[in-house]
Amino acid sequence: MTLSKTERKIIENSIRDIQDFPKPGIVFKDITTLLNNKKAYGVLMNHLYQRYKEYNLDYIAGIDARGFIFGAALAQMLSIGFIPIRKKGKLPYTTFTEKYALEYGVDEIEVHIDAFSEIPNAKVLMIDDLIATGGTANAAAILINQTGAECVEACFIIGLNFLDGQKKLKEKTVVYSLIEVN
């Protein structure tokens, strides 16, 4: 299921572009204007519900921090559990950790080792607001699979096609981006 032209326009028009943030030459896609637009957020969440209601998912895994906003709401709508994938040092229990490359260095994300343990071979949808170079998303997919669960799809509100993130992630799982930016 994909967005209708009308739905796509409502969502696209609610996302604000911020020039030169966080540094010169970058056009930042600000989703805070989508979140405070009840019509656009409603269209978005209804679309996600309609898309995923027949997937027989066991969990939604949201990537720190904007993935929490969409993931927790969608998990509640689907009556399934939500699992946070956090930046290193933010989870209180034993974790699996995965490093990923940044433009200038590395970072790490974590998930609890027992995050998906209630359901053997759990089917998990990973969600975040945007995929650019794909470092965080690839690390998150690795973590999900490392726990014994299966990342059946990765969903992003915005996909930046001019970067290779989606291409790399498609080697690990199905990728769905609602809004494609070329």
Q: Tens digit of pLDDT for each residue in 49-79? A: 999 999 999 999 999 999 999 999 999 999 9
Q: Read off the pLDDT of residues 104-155 as tens digits, 9 standing for 90 and up.
A: 789 999 999 999 999 999 999 999 999 999 999 999 999 999 999 999 999 9
Which CATH number is 91's domain given?
3.40.50.2020
Q: What are phi and psi of 43, to 5 degrees?
A: -60, -45
Which residue range forms the structural domain that includes residue 170?
Answer: 54-181
pLDDT at 11 over 90: yes
| C-beta atoms surrounding 165 within 10 Å | 23
Q: What is the mean pLDDT of residues 30-34?
A: 97
Give the whole-number percent of the chain exceeding pLDDT 90.
93
Count of domains for the chain? 1
Nearest Cα to Cα of residue 63 among 109, 106, 115, 99: 109
168 compared with 1, residue with greater pLDDT: 168
Do 59 and 79 touch, CB atoms closer than 8 A? Answer: no
Q: Does some domain include residue 78?
A: yes
Adjacent-strand bridge partners of 177:
156
Give the whole-number percent of the chain exceeding pLDDT 70.
100
Adjacent-strand bridge partners of 119:
none
Q: What is the mean pLDDT of residues 81-99?
A: 97
Nearest Cα to Cα of residue 63 among 178, 121, 142: 142
pLDDT at 36 over 80: yes
Asked whether the bond before 22 is cis by omega within 30 degrees of 0, the reply is: yes
Q: Does some domain include residue 10?
A: no
